[in-house]
């Protein structure tokens, strides 16, 4: 059973921090004492998530995870990202894109929400439906701000790059832009003495490539390179920079500190005051013109209209 789960995980491309990929595979194999699992357990993400949820406000009516506070509708993007709810999302605090999209649409349609805030602390995840959710953010009728409380990596950064602005905690890590797949090669028979053999049809030689060979790995890399091209293009469009800038300056698959990410143009500001400061800034009502300024503007407009009519009359 564990081998089938692991095979399913490895059958699809991921956009995720490599150490989280190691942890997910270890959990699927029930190797809970694996150093990768222990490292993730101790990285402080659970505490950051609990603090963020407490600050985001009251539960938004009719939503699964959204909250509202002083006209700011908040949505958590926490943990590994999956297209739909599953055991991981229910038990480990991972994110379901289907649930997030439904909540986002409710916030976008609500007259009570002036600004939308996505609170991100995610290493990335499965690539399925990531682009659709990113497009939803890009097409929002309201300003969308992202606050990175811990991690905004890989698929999470793909999503957040489409927001109006990205703000990060000084200790946040941003980047890991790229796509990966993992696999295993059977070197010896299994515990029962059996060795797996896969036969493919004549005209489908690449259906089951041999990952132990350079040729097999090249075939897989060719496929994930095509996915990466879309990833880079979307990030470039969202951040309003050339694709070449994303390739050269946005970490080359590695992560950057908040300050480094700001210098590279990956985010817009570093917020020392944390989530509470971002919420306070977004909650401020838009300043309207004072009565005196409004009257002056109206007088100027009337004067310009009169001058135009006199000129026409001449």
**pLDDT at 263 (0 to 100):** 98
Q: φ and ψ at 270, to 5 degrees?
A: -110, 125
**pLDDT at 258 (0 to 100):** 98
Give the residue extent of every domain in the chain: 2-187+196-283
Question: 74: how many CB neighbours lie within 10 A of its CB?
Answer: 29
**pLDDT at 21 (0 to 100):** 78
The model's pLDDT over 77-135, given as tens digits with 9 standing for 90+, comes to: 999 999 886 655 554 568 899 999 999 999 999 999 999 999 999 999 999 999 999 99
Fold classification of 2-187+196-283 (topology level): 2-enoyl-CoA Hydratase; Chain A, domain 1 (3.90.226)
**pLDDT at 289 (0 to 100):** 45
Q: CA 89 from chain center: how many Å?
A: 16
- The pTM assigned to this predicted structure is 0.81
Token pair belonging to 89: 């999302």
DSSP secondary structure string for all residues of 40-101: HHTSSHHHHHHHHHHHH-EEPTT-SS-EEETTEEEEEEESSEESS--HHHHHH--EEHHHHH
Q: CA 227 from chain center: how many Å?
A: 16
Per-residue pLDDT of the chain (314 residues; tens, 9 = 90+): 456 666 667 768 889 988 877 777 776 666 666 676 666 665 667 777 778 888 999 999 999 999 999 999 999 999 999 988 665 555 456 889 999 999 999 999 999 999 999 999 999 999 999 999 999 999 999 999 999 999 999 999 999 999 999 999 999 999 999 999 877 666 667 677 777 777 888 888 888 888 888 888 899 899 999 999 999 999 999 999 999 999 999 999 999 999 999 999 999 999 999 999 999 999 987 554 455 555 555 566 656 666 655 555 55
Q: φ and ψ at 125, to 5 degrees?
A: 175, -150
**pLDDT at 198 (0 to 100):** 74
Cα atoms found within 13 Å of the Cα of residue 163, Cβ hemisphere only = 26
What is the distance between the alpha carbons of residues 303 and 31, in angstroms, rounded to a whole number?
A: 78
The model's pLDDT over 266-278, given as tens digits with 9 standing for 90+, comes to: 999 999 999 999 9
DSSP secondary structure string for all residues of the chain: -HHHHHHHHHTS-EEE-HHHHHHHHHHHTT-TT-HHHHHHHTSSHHHHHHHHHHHH-EEPTT-SS-EEETTEEEEEEESSEESS--HHHHHH--EEHHHHHHHHHHHHH-TT-SEEEEEEEE-EEE-TTHHHHHHHHHT-SS-EEEEEEEEEETHHHHHHTTSSEEEE-TT-EEE--S-B-------S--TTS--------TT-GGGG--TTSHHHHHHHHHHHHHHHHHHHHHHHHHHTS-HHHHHHHS-TTSEEEHHHHHHHTSSSEE-TTHHHHHHHHHHSPPPPPPHHHHHHHHHHHHHHHHHHHHHHH-
């Amino acid at each position: 059973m564990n081998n089938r789960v692991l095979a399913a995980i490895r059958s699809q491309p991921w956009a995720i921090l490599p150490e989280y990929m190691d942890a997910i595979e270890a959990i699927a194999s029930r190797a809970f004492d694996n150093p990768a699992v222990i490292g993730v357990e101790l990285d402080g993400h659970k505490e950051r998530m609990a603090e963020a949820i407490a600050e985001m406000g009251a539960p938004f009516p009719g939503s699964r995870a959204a909250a509202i506070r002083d006209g700011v509708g908040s949505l958590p993007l926490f943990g590994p990202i999956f297209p739909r709810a599953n055991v991981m999302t229910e038990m480990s605090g991972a994110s379901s894109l289907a649930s997030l999209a439904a909540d986002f649409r409710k916030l976008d349609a609500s007259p009570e929400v002036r600004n939308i805030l996505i609170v991100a602390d995610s290493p990335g995840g499965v690539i399925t439906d990531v682009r659709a959710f990113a497009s939803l953010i890009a097409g929002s009728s309201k300003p969308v701000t992202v606050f990175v409380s811990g991690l905004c990596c890989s698929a999470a950064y793909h999503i957040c790059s489409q927001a109006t602005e990205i703000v990060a905690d000084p200790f946040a890590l941003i980047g890991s832009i790229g796509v990966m797949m993992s696999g295993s090669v059977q070197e010896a028979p299994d515990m029962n003495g059996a060795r797996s053999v896969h036969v493919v049809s004549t005209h489908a030689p690449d259906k089951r490539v041999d990952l132990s060979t350079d040729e097999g790995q090249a075939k897989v890399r060719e496929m994930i390179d095509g996915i990466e091209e879309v990833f880079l293009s979307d990030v470039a469009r969202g951040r309003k920079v050339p694709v070449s800038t994303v390739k050269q300056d946005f970490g080359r698959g590695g992560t950057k500190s908040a300050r480094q990410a700001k210098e590279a143009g990956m985010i817009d500001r570093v917020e020392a005051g944390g989530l509470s400061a971002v919420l306070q800034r977004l909650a401020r009502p838009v300043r309207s013109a004072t009565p005196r300024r409004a009257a002056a503007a109206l007088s100027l407009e009337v004067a310009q209209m009169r001058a135009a009519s006199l000129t026409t009359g001449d």
